[in-house]
Amino acid sequence: MRTASRKDFYLVNLGVPLLLAAATFLLFDLTRLDRLINDLFYDPATQQYILQHSQLFEKLTHKWPRILPDWTGEAAIVGTLLSFSWPLLARHQRAVSLLDKARIAPLLRFTAQYRRDLLYVVTAFALSTTLIHYLKSHTGVYCPVETTLYGGDQPHLEWFSNFSLFDKAGPGRCWPGGHASSGFTLLALYFVALRHRWPHARKLLVAILLIGTLYGTTRVLQGWHYMSHTFWAGIVVWLASWASALLFYGRLALQGQQGLNPRPLAVSSGALVQAFQGSDHDQAAFTPTGRHGLQPDRTGPADPAPAG
C-alpha cells in the first residue's frame, strides 16, 4: 500500500478546504443563491419564516443539540485538570489505595495517559470558538430575519465588503454560523481518532460533518442564517482543528507513520479495560502487539515529538 506523502497530506487537509472556500465564495457570496434558498422558507404575506417562532423546533434543533458539543468541551477541560492530579497522587500509596477502592483511580490514570489528547481537544475548541467570534464581530453581518429582505429593519451586508481586520465592523453577529460551528467543533475528535488509527475514523468524520451541516441547516429554516454561513463555519473550524492537531501531533502521527502499526488496530474489550485501568506509570505509552490489543511499552516516550 502506497504511503501518503507530505504533498498528499497538505493537499487533502489544506488544499481541499481552501478549494471549498473558493467554491462557496463564487457560488454563494457573489450570487443570489443564498437568498433563493431562504426564499423557499419565507412567507411574504406574514413576513415571517415558517418555523421562525416554533418553540418546539427551537428546542429540538437549537437548544438541546448544543448539549453534545458543550458537554464534549467541558469533559475535555475536566479531564485535562484531572490528568495533572494523578502524577501527584500516585506518589502516595495510601492515596492510591483509597482511590482504587473508590474506583476513581482508573479514571485518573486514563486522563493522565491521554493528557495530550485532552489538551488538544480543549485547544481546538478554544481556537475554533475564538476564530468564529472574531469573524462575527469583525464582519458585522446581520441575520436574514434582521434585514429588510425578510421583515427586519437592518441592511443586508456581505461579509467581504464589511470586514474590518482590527476593529469591530458593527453590531451584526451572523457570519459565520455559530450553531453550525458548535457542531463542527467535534472535528477535534476525528483528529484524535486519526492519531490513534481508530479504524472507524472516517465514519466519525462523516457523522461530524453531517451534524454540523444539520445544525446550520435548521437555522436556515428559521431565518437566522444563510446556507453559506454553515459552509464557512465548517471551513473555519476544520482549519482551526487541523492546525491544532498538526501542532500537537505532527504530520507523521496524523498520517499513521510514526510509531504505529501500518494496519489499523483491532482492540479487544479486554484491551480497552486494561488501557483504562492503566498502571502506576501515568504516562506509559502503548504499542500494538497484534490482534489481541495493546500492551504498555515502558521503554519508549509517552508521546512522540510532532513532525511537520
CA 119 to CA 184: how far, in whole Å? 18
Give residue 96's pLDDT. Answer: 73
Closest CA to 188 of 246, 255, 121, 115: 121
pLDDT tens for the 308 residues of the chain, in order:
455 688 999 999 999 999 999 999 999 999 999 999 999 999 999 999 999 999 999 999 999 999 999 999 999 999 999 999 878 777 777 777 887 787 888 888 889 999 999 999 999 999 999 999 999 999 999 999 999 999 999 999 999 999 999 989 899 999 999 999 999 999 999 999 999 999 999 999 999 999 999 999 999 999 999 999 999 999 999 999 999 999 999 999 998 776 444 444 444 444 444 444 444 433 333 334 443 443 333 333 344 445 44
CB atoms within 10 A of CB 146: 21
Q: Which residues contact 170 (CB under 8 A, 6 or more apart)?
A: 140, 157, 162
pTM comes to: 0.81
Q: Which three cell numbers stand for residue 70?
A: 458543550
Closest CA to 303 of 187, 200, 192, 201: 192
